[in-house]
Amino acid sequence: MKVAVVGATGMVGEVMLQVLAERRFPVTELLPVASERSVGKEVIFQGKPHKVIGLADAVAAKPAIALFSAGGAISLEWAPKFAAAGTTVIDNSSAWRMDPDKKLVVPEINASQITREDKIIANPNCSTIQMVMALAPLHKKYTINRVVVSTYQSITGTGVKAVRQLENEYAGQQGEMAYPYPIHRNALPHCDVFEENGYTKEEMKLVRETQKILDDNTIAVTSTAIRIPVVGGHSESVNLQFENDFDVNDIRKLLNETPGVTVQDNTDTNTYPMPIYAQGKDDVFVGRIRRDHSQPNSLNLWIVADNLRKGAATNTVQIAEYLAANQLAG
Ligand code: 2RA
């Protein structure tokens, strides 16, 4: 299958190439795509160098699938051009996620919604993916009425500039700032930009995308997204209120039985998820599972995942695998 990776030289793009190779996706021809300034550079895929090409040449090559991680502006302009040429686009930006005509997909939850007519498919935001992976089986059995989530997000979600800022600050050096404040020894209550309602776009993604993926606008969600000086993945403290009462052991059993979720939850052995150990893995890790005794039918969870993998690249490749397995691509 001819596959384009748009944004191949970026952090998520590089991980998409890695995951395509790791999962032995049936790539017959790889088209690494990036901005004009990167055309001609080489990326390594399956141990071999591949020359980066421009967007127009990639559209003309008519790949079956194009995996995008190149920002919203590029996606808004170029995803329709790929689609018009017959390519199925899976996009990591927020550009198409809330478009009522576009599917927002976490394969373990709602891949079955995808049809051959879907030529632009949206990959959800990283912090949404890891949360709904845990919420979906619980919602199905106990009906979630309300979600309160606080995220503790890796600087890799911002990109290379943020990683460089942390490295400079750690070394006591001046350099380009990805954030308005220092990130070393700090926690920034500011991920993405603020909206009129006082919440950031990152916080509102958790609200809007969760309702769309779980197909239930009655779920009340409120969130606070924090950036912390971590690189392994995003962590989330989640409080759920259900319609119905539950048994904590049944919650653990449901999560244990969910493909793509690993429960790490034993306070006797200090066993709980942490980003340093989630890094490089594809599962979503859930722990600190405990009843919230302050209100009825309520539960607390701690959810951790590598935001570059299941939060972006792996989820994207899993959608591509679903397309390939069901002859829905291209
Ligand atoms: C972040 N989820 O972590 C956003 C974009 N990757 O900044």
Rounded-to-integer distance, Cα 244 and Cα 234, Å: 29
**Percent of the chain residues topping a pLDDT of 70:** 100
User: pLDDT at position 161, please?
Assistant: 97
Q: Per-residue confidence at 124, pLDDT binned at 50, 70, 90?
A: very high
245-293 pLDDT, tens per residue?
999 999 999 999 999 999 999 999 999 999 999 999 999 999 999 999 9
Cα–Cα separations (whole angstroms), residue 277 to 232, 283, 330:
7, 11, 37
Beta-carbon contacts of residue 101 (< 8 Å; ≥ 6 apart): none
| Cβ proximity of 275 and 304 under 8 Å | yes
Taking the centre of ligand 1 as the mean of its atom positions, its distance from the CA of residue 58, in whole angstroms, is: 26
User: pLDDT at position 66, please?
Assistant: 98
Binding-site residue ranges for NADP(+): 9-12, 37-38, 307
Structural domains of the chain, with CATH:
2-124+312-325 (3.40.50.720), 127-307 (3.30.360.10)
User: pLDDT at position 86, please?
Assistant: 97
Instruction: Give catalytic status of residue 191 as yes or no.
Output: no
Closest ligand 1 atom to Cα of 234: 3
**Percent of the chain residues topping a pLDDT of 90:** 100
In this prediction, residues 29-44 reach a mean pLDDT of 97
| C-alpha gyration radius of the chain | 20
pTM of the model: 0.98
In this prediction, residues 101-115 reach a mean pLDDT of 98
127 in contact with ligand 1, CB cutoff 6 A: yes
Atom 1 of ligand 1: nearest residue by CA position = 157
83-93 pLDDT, tens per residue?
999 999 999 99
93 in contact with ligand 1, CB cutoff 6 A: no
Residue type, 244: N
User: pLDDT at position 276, please?
Assistant: 98
230-246 pLDDT, tens per residue?
999 999 999 999 999 99
158 in contact with ligand 1, CB cutoff 6 A: yes
Closest ligand 1 atom to Cα of 157: 3
Mean pLDDT, all residues of the chain: 98
* Full DSSP string of 112-176: GG--TT--EEEPPPHHHHHHHHHHHHHHHHH-EEEEEEEEEE-GGGT-HHHHHHHHHHHTT----
Atom 3 of ligand 1: nearest residue by CA position = 157
124 in contact with ligand 1, CB cutoff 6 A: no
Decide: helix, strand or coil at residue 13.
helix
Q: Per-residue confidence at 330, pLDDT binned at 50, 70, 90?
A: low
157-197 pLDDT, tens per residue?
999 999 999 999 999 999 999 999 999 999 999 999 999 99
Q: Quick one: DSSP state of residue 36? A: G
Atom 5 of ligand 1: nearest residue by CA position = 157
Could you tell me the two tokens for 194? 């603020």
Taking the centre of ligand 1 as the mean of its atom positions, its distance from the CA of residue 293, in whole angstroms, is: 32
Reported ipTM: the value is 0.96
Closest ligand 1 atom to Cα of 12: 6
Taking the centre of ligand 1 as the mean of its atom positions, its distance from the CA of residue 68, in whole angstroms, is: 15
In this prediction, residues 44-63 reach a mean pLDDT of 98
Atom 7 of ligand 1: nearest residue by CA position = 157
In this prediction, residues 320-327 reach a mean pLDDT of 97
